[in-house]
Structure 1
Amino acid sequence: MPIIYNCSGYEDMETLELLEGTVDIYIPDVKYSDDEIAFKYSGVKDYVEVNRVALKEMKRQVGDLTVDSEGAAQKGFIVRHLVLPGNVENTKKALEFIAKNYQKILL
């Protein structure tokens, strides 16, 4: 059974380094594509940079998503996006980033 790390995507690199070799599937969020919106809703000023560095590290550790013959995830990387009402541009930019950088994931 795979070990899944379901997280906010705002992860410390030291934590991710400690998890290397333990986690089979990372499921991070990409909540924001704009630091002003991140600060408004989550009180963090550097969300976008921290999130993107964390995603890159997670992907490096586990690679593209692989599934078994029944379609169950076994190893890899699945990204979620939080759609905020009234913030269509945030969603567009987040999805553009995901599509550009992580083409072989399930949304």
Structure 2
Amino acid sequence: MVKSGALEPGTSGPCLDKYQPFPSAVWFKKNPHSPIVTVMGRRLAAEGCSAYKNGPGQQWTDADRASHAKWQRKLGNSCVDVDGWPGPTSWTKLHVPHT
């Protein structure tokens, strides 16, 4: 175990079973259509990071990317690191539940 409470890579536990694993940066850049996108969008909205006009949907859109950029700023990332594309760190901190 890591001191922060995070699990070592390759291990499992209740926290990993509770949340959706990070799909990958490449997955997002392929403009996915998935319930994972909707659940992520709902979490972003719950965190006050919504750029949605009509709420999140299953198709990855510019509104999802803008919402995730708001989340990255909320996490304190520098301008260079705020690109709207989910990465493993920002994804893990968002606590996206399983679909």
Q: Which has the higher strand share?
A: 1
Is the radius of gyration larger for structure 1 or structure 2? 1
TM-score normalised according to structure 1 size: 0.24
TM-score normalised according to structure 2 size: 0.26
